[in-house]
Amino acid sequence: MSLASLAMYVSPPQIRQATRLFWEALGARMRAMGLEAPAALDDDVPYDEAWLRPDLLFGQTCGYPYVRHLRGKVQLVATPIYGLSGCDGPLKCSFIIVNARSPVTSIEELRGARAAINEPGSNSGYNLFRAFVSPHAVDGRFFSSVVETGGHRASIDAVSSGAADVAAIDCVTFGNTLRFDPDRVAGVRILAETAKGPGLPFITAAATPAEDLVILRRVLADAIADPALADICDTLSLRGVSLLDDADYEMLAELDRDAARHGYPAIA
């Protein structure tokens, strides 16, 4: 049996439950089309291990690890379109957040501040953040310190509690948190938006046959358009999919190179 893993957007709990139900509907449609789709998502395999599993039928990755590590090793299925603030079709930004009580009005005023990142492999929490800050860096530095929190919600908490002064939060994560866990974002405010880039693509293994890839794309689009799944898709703010290719994701690699050209290869 093949592997299905959707671990990118799994919080708050309403999102996790809707994701589980969405996969159950997708998997049933795939099996009806002749694919050996698992009945349930795999929650045991670490998300980044699932990306490179040869039996991966359906997964979701982040655009930054895709351009850095996964090109040629996986196939792009489609990029989701979310109906949340900060999204524009398959493109999305990150929100630069500060404490709700902070008097800061521009990024320049945060020179010497304490930054929080979720992890260096993240597009939304790192690559877009670095691109936003890099024009302001001097001799490779802008912040006084950088703490790695391990996740966007933890970065929100760090800024809200005063443990950090600024972070970049994926707009989909921020929107989901605002809808279903509003108290968590009550202590922060949005200072700015980063540049937009292609969102988190659905992927399948490099070995997935071309005819199966066609089925995956058809089933995915049909499920999102199915009125019977409207409540699930509304919980996920999932509006459709876009068929982006490798060239569309190249802009994320270019942001990486551009930060290096600015002398700011790492958030510091």
The tally of CA atoms less than 13 A away on the side-chain side of residue 7 is 15
Please state, in angstroms and rounded to a whole number, the distance separating the CA atoms of residues 229 and 231.
6
DSSP H stretches of helix in the chain: 13-32, 47-50, 63-65, 128-133, 152-161, 171-180, 182-185, 210-225, 230-235, 246-261
Which 3 state secondary structure label does DSSP give 149?
Answer: coil
Task: Give me the pLDDT at residue 208, please.
Answer: 98
Q: Which are the contacts of 174, defined by CB distance < 8 A and separation ≥ 6? A: 86, 95, 97, 152, 156, 185, 190
Task: Give me the pLDDT at residue 138, please.
Answer: 96
Which 3 state secondary structure label does DSSP give 243?
Answer: coil
3-83+198-253 and 91-197 share one fold: yes
Which 3 state secondary structure label does DSSP give 72?
Answer: coil
Task: Give me the pLDDT at residue 170, please.
Answer: 97
Q: Give the pTM.
A: 0.96
**Which residues of the chain carry a pLDDT beneath 70?**
none
Please state, in angstroms and rounded to a whole number, the distance separating the CA atoms of residues 197 and 230.
26
* Residue bearing tokens 């509907």: 25
206-212, long-range: CB < 8 A, 24+ apart: 206/54, 206/72, 206/73, 206/74, 206/75, 207/54, 208/56, 208/57, 208/75, 212/35, 212/57
Give the start-to-end residue ranges of the domains of the chain. Answer: 3-83+198-253, 91-197
Beta strand spans in 44-122 (E): 56-60, 74-82, 87-88, 91-92, 94-99, 114-117
Homologous superfamily (CATH) of 91-197 is: Periplasmic binding protein-like II (3.40.190.10)
Please state, in angstroms and rounded to a whole number, the distance separating the CA atoms of residues 144 and 267.
11
CB-based contact 73:19 (threshold 8 Å): no
Task: Give me the pLDDT at residue 57, please.
Answer: 98
Considering the segment(s) 3-83+198-253 as one domain, its CATH architecture is 3-Layer(aba) Sandwich (3.40)
Dump the DSSP string for 155-215. Answer: HHHHHHHTS-SEEEEEHHHHHHHHHH-HHHHTTEEEEEE---EE---EEEETTS-HHHHHH
CB-based contact 117:167 (threshold 8 Å): yes
Task: Give me the pLDDT at residue 1, please.
Answer: 75
